[in-house]
Amino acid sequence: MKDKKIKTKVLRPKFSNDLDIIELYKENIVDEAILSFGIISNCSLEDYEAKSMTFNQVIFNNVVFSKITFRHIELVDVRFQNCDLSNVDFNEASLHRVEFINCKIIGINLGEATLRDVIFENCNGQYAFFRYSNCKQVAFLECQLCSSDFKNSVLSKVEFQKSNLLQTQMNFTNLKGIDFTSCDIEGIGVNISDINGAIVNTMQAASLSALLGLIVK
């Protein structure tokens, strides 16, 4: 995996050298199930629901998730590559050293989730839901995140690089120190206190000045 220049120190997943091929069946998808040390490829998972499942050292490659509800899921050392996770419900999930590479995550629900060392790279995350999430050492690299929702989230050592944040909602989220200069933030939803200390370019500053009641000529 070719590393992009991530300014934030984000740890990538760690994998054993001898991962097995895993085939998921309905009977495997149960509450508190643990699946480890494997590769799940070229399949569709449809209409599954379980709570508190754990995936440890697992690679998902070219997997389509449809009507999936895995609340309280724990993902440790996991990679999703070329996967479709649109509208997946990962509410209150726990993610540690996880990558989403070239994935479709439209409308994914990561509300109230805990994200530690997570990378989203070249993902389509329109309408993604991160409300009340707690994110530390998370990088969004060249992602489509328009109309996504980060309201009331905690963003610590989080970076957005060349990403589309058009109409993204970030009200009641402290954005101090976050660099938006390479992103499109037109129409971003924020409060005046939220953007105190955020890093923006001249054009973005002019756009945000309306929040302060300024008229820029």
Name which of 109, 72, 104, 102 is nearest 87 in CA terms.
109
pLDDT digits (tens, 9 = 90+) for 90-134: 999 999 999 999 999 999 999 999 999 999 999 999 999 999 999
Q: Which pLDDT value is given to residue 213? A: 67
d(CA 159, CA 125) in angstroms, rounded, equals 15
Sign of CA dihedral 4, 145, 79, 11: positive
Give me the chain's average pLDDT, please.
93
Distances (CA, A) of 14 to 11, 21, 57, 98, 123: 9, 17, 7, 9, 21
pLDDT digits (tens, 9 = 90+) for 141-150: 999 999 999 9
- Residue 56 token pair: 């440890």
Sign of CA dihedral 54, 77, 63, 133: positive
- Domains belonging to the chain, first-starting first, are 41-212 (2.160.20.80)
